[in-house]
Amino acid sequence: MPLFSHRSSASSGSAGSAPLPSFYSAKPVKPSKPFSAFSSTRIPWPILVFSLLCLLIGLAGTLFALSAIRRNQPLPIFRCGTSEDTFRSFYSSLDSGKLGDDSNKGLVDRPKLLGFVGIQTGFESGERRSALRSTWFPSDPDGLLRLEQATGLGFRFVIGKSKDVKKMAMLEKEIEKYRDFMLTDVEEEYLKLPYKTLAFFKAAFKLFEADYYVKADDDIYLRPDRLATLLAKERSYSMTYIGCMKKGPVITDPKLKWYEKSGHLIGNEYFLHAYGPIYVLSAEVVASLAAARNDSLRMFNNEDVTIGSWMLAMNVHHEDNRAICDPRCTPTSIAVWDIPRCSGLCNPASKLKELHKIGMCSKSPTLPPDDI
């Protein structure tokens, strides 16, 4: 029954009764239209607001879809576990084409290089990094990229972590300025160097497809062009360990430098291994290290001895090259440091700048591969 319709009683239908008002009529009464000249075209404002909101959402979705179509592939996060390449992460947020492959497909997850060089550094080595950036190591991301393109070598400072909040804050500021670090998830301290070195090789292998991986310290003067020439040489061994090879007595006195806690496992003399300031491992060697569980490899006190022990177990070819441990700049020197007085340059922050001013160190030409 329609709302507000009523049936009249028998007395209400008599001839003498007054007529009922129209809103009590037995028939439904249609609501009267408002008297307005514009009633047929006016849109209620809630509907108008809702329509505009839907339009904006539609436009936003269209723009997002267009940007997704134009992007060839999503930008990767350049991490290996908690290790990170701050340089490539920086360029991924700016211009993926700069670090892309030849087909312009944007950033690749594991770029191909002749060699990847990790400059091992620490929280107390700010002056050394500053000296390096004012000499042979580029001081800005574009310079680092140009060096990589010119030599086929990628360079990063490699550093661990610290529980000191102030040190980590200072590191963040330096990263923000230079973007030239590889961060590893290892506590930065001397006794942890073997663990840091293993973490570096694992992260470098996951992040870069290089023919060779180079571990170097932040207190040597390096010629990247000559290092590239050395690595580009033809070799008949796929598992190669390049460095200045040495032997020496095992130090078992805890009061002396280079004390070896596990010296009883080695004997009186160390096996053949490379000096620590710089050495090179081929890709196949590093692949084996990357696949190894961290607790499956023996760690000695000294990092260079630790690496040398792994190389013995892996049956690699030891390539002795004195050009990467030259005590002075020569036409063939690749890495210069004060061997054997110091494990690196003595007073490196000042010595690096002194060497860079010498033409034989910084400006002499690169010789053909057969002469290096």
Please determine, for residue 330, whether its predicted confidence score (pLDDT) is greater than 90.
Answer: yes
Q: Specify if 96 maps to a domain.
A: no
Q: Specify if 239 maps to a domain.
A: yes
Q: Are 251 and 301 a contacting pair, CB within 8 Å?
A: no
Q: Tell me whether the omega of the peptide bond preceding residue 340 falls within 30 degrees of 0, making it cis.
A: yes
Three-state secondary structure readout of 42-97: CCCHHHHHHHHHHHHHHHHHHHHHHHHHHCCCCCCCCEECCEEEHHHHHHHCCCHH
Q: Specify if 9 maps to a domain.
A: no
- CA 97/CA 57 separation, integer angstroms: 30
- What CATH number does the domain containing 240 carry? 3.90.550
- At residue 357, what are phi and psi to the nearest 5 degrees? -80, -15
What is the count of structural domains for the chain? 1
Please determine, for residue 154, whether its predicted confidence score (pLDDT) is greater than 60.
Answer: yes
By residue range, what is the domain housing residue 266?
A: 84-91+111-363
What pLDDT score was predicted for residue 72?
44
Query: Between 283-291 and 193-207, two packed helices, what is the crossing angle to 10 degrees?
Result: 110
What pLDDT score was predicted for residue 60?
72
Three-state DSSP at 41 gives coil
Q: Specify if 317 maps to a domain.
A: yes
Of these ranges, 3-7, 91-95, 112-116, the one predicted with the greatest mean pLDDT is: 112-116
More confident residue, 80 or 25: 80
Q: Specify if 261 maps to a domain.
A: yes
Q: Are 156 and 111 a contacting pair, CB within 8 Å?
A: no
CA 70 → CA 4, 99, 103, 168, 326, distances in Å?
A: 63, 18, 15, 38, 51
Q: Are 188 and 196 a contacting pair, CB within 8 Å?
A: yes
Confidence of residue 51 (pLDDT cuts 50, 70, 90): confident
Q: Specify if 318 maps to a domain.
A: yes
Give the predicted TM-score (pTM) of the model.
0.76
Contacts of 266 (CB under 8 A, 6+ apart): 250, 260, 300, 305
Please determine, for residue 102, whether its predicted confidence score (pLDDT) is greater than 50.
Answer: no
Q: Specify if 18 maps to a domain.
A: no
Confidence of residue 139 (pLDDT cuts 50, 70, 90): very high
What pLDDT score was predicted for residue 53?
74
Q: Specify if 183 maps to a domain.
A: yes
The closest of 276, 272, 200, 284 to 239, measured between CA atoms, is 284
Across all residues in the chain, what is the average pLDDT?
83
- CA 198/CA 195 separation, integer angstroms: 5
